[in-house]
Amino acid sequence: MSHVTIQNAYLSVAVDLLGAELASIRDRASHEYLWQGDARFWVSRAPILFPIVGGLKDDRYTRGGQTYTLPKHGFARTMVFDIAEQTESSVVLTLKATEETRKSFPADFLLRVAFTLEGRSLAVSYSIANPTDQTMYASIGAHEGYSCPEGIEAYDLLFEQEETLETCELDGNLLNGETTRVLTQGSVLPLETRYFAVDALVFASIRSQSVTLARRSGGRSIRVDFPGFPSLGIWTKPGAPYLCIEPWCGLPDETCSSGAIEEKRGILTIPAGRSLTRGHTISILDV
């Protein structure tokens, strides 16, 4: 079995055991809300970003005098998760440290990802357990791509609060320390392809804990609530009919980063013997 499916009276959701990646979000009329992948643009749908978000300077970091290598967004998206619990409307998937993961992330961990349907909403919860006697440094992030059949310029992003949004400029996979303003004292960001000519919009800090992707002409609307995630990425490939809304606990390295994991901007600190939980909720508003 490569997928698991959960459902309720409103939605049917498929999750791939590879990467614990969402594969489908459909309503009872079989309308698909999740991007279904296309090699011309992006083959993924909703990878989980762990144990880092974004890229590292030279793909490397240091801890305790040792140097380790990690690819952009980490390794969880390439690993097969186990089913720990399952009901008709929920499933919990787990990933444990292995001999291979310790080569790039020298820590024991247990990552639990829970998917739970609640009415017209899908709650996604991440729990990172640190069973060791040393502090763990890690990041967690979501990367769901939402289908925009008419193209992204037919949609707006509606922020929960009025924002002045500054996107962090990118130099390859790294933040270069500069920002560009894309919204001044407003709550509606009309989507434009030009925003993604370089890569993503990266909001290192925002006030809102919820955004809604809404078709300007009405009818198709998806809200993502992300309390506890201080940063937000927005991304697509120019010309592609999807938009990724990415709540992040973590950020890409900066071009001036020291490389020390404990000094990494946005990194989470998980004390010995403790765990940390974050979650976001995806709500289909036009069911």
Residues 168-205 have pLDDT tens digits of 999 999 999 999 999 999 999 999 999 999 899 999 99
Confidence at residue 181, expressed as pLDDT on a 0 to 100 scale: 96
Angle value at C-alpha 162, between 160 and 167, nearest 5 degrees:
95
> Contacts for 165-170 with beta carbons within 8 Å, 24 or more apart?
165/189, 165/201, 165/203, 165/206, 166/203, 167/195, 167/201, 167/202, 167/203, 168/202, 168/203, 168/204, 168/251, 169/198, 170/198, 170/199, 170/200, 170/202, 170/252
Phi, psi of 154 (to 5 degrees): -90, 5
pLDDT mean across residues, the chain? 96
Return the higher-pLDDT residue of 219 and 27. 27
Residue 27 has pLDDT above 60, yes or no: yes
- Is residue 221 packed enough to be buried (19+ CB in 10 Å), middle (13-18) or exposed (0-12)? middle
Residues 39-52 have pLDDT tens digits of 999 999 999 999 99
Residue 28 has pLDDT above 80, yes or no: yes
Residue 287 has pLDDT above 70, yes or no: no
Residue 134 has pLDDT above 70, yes or no: yes
Residues 105-126 have pLDDT tens digits of 999 999 999 999 999 999 999 9
**Domain map of the chain by residue range?**
3-284
Confidence at residue 219, expressed as pLDDT on a 0 to 100 scale: 87
Confidence at residue 1, expressed as pLDDT on a 0 to 100 scale: 64
Residues 193-241 have pLDDT tens digits of 999 998 999 999 999 999 999 999 998 899 999 999 999 999 999 999 9
Percent of the chain with pLDDT over 90: 98
For residues 255-270, average pLDDT? 96
Residue 80 has pLDDT above 90, yes or no: yes
Helix H or strand E segment including 62: strand 60-63
Query: Which one is the CATH code of 3-284: 3.40.50.720, 3.40.50.1220, 3.40.640.10, 2.70.98.10?
Result: 2.70.98.10
Q: Is pTM beyond 0.85 here?
A: yes
For residues 85-92, average pLDDT? 98
> Is residue 286 very low, low, confident or very high in pLDDT (cuts 50, 70, 90)?
confident
Confidence at residue 62, expressed as pLDDT on a 0 to 100 scale: 97
Tokens, residue 131: 């069973």
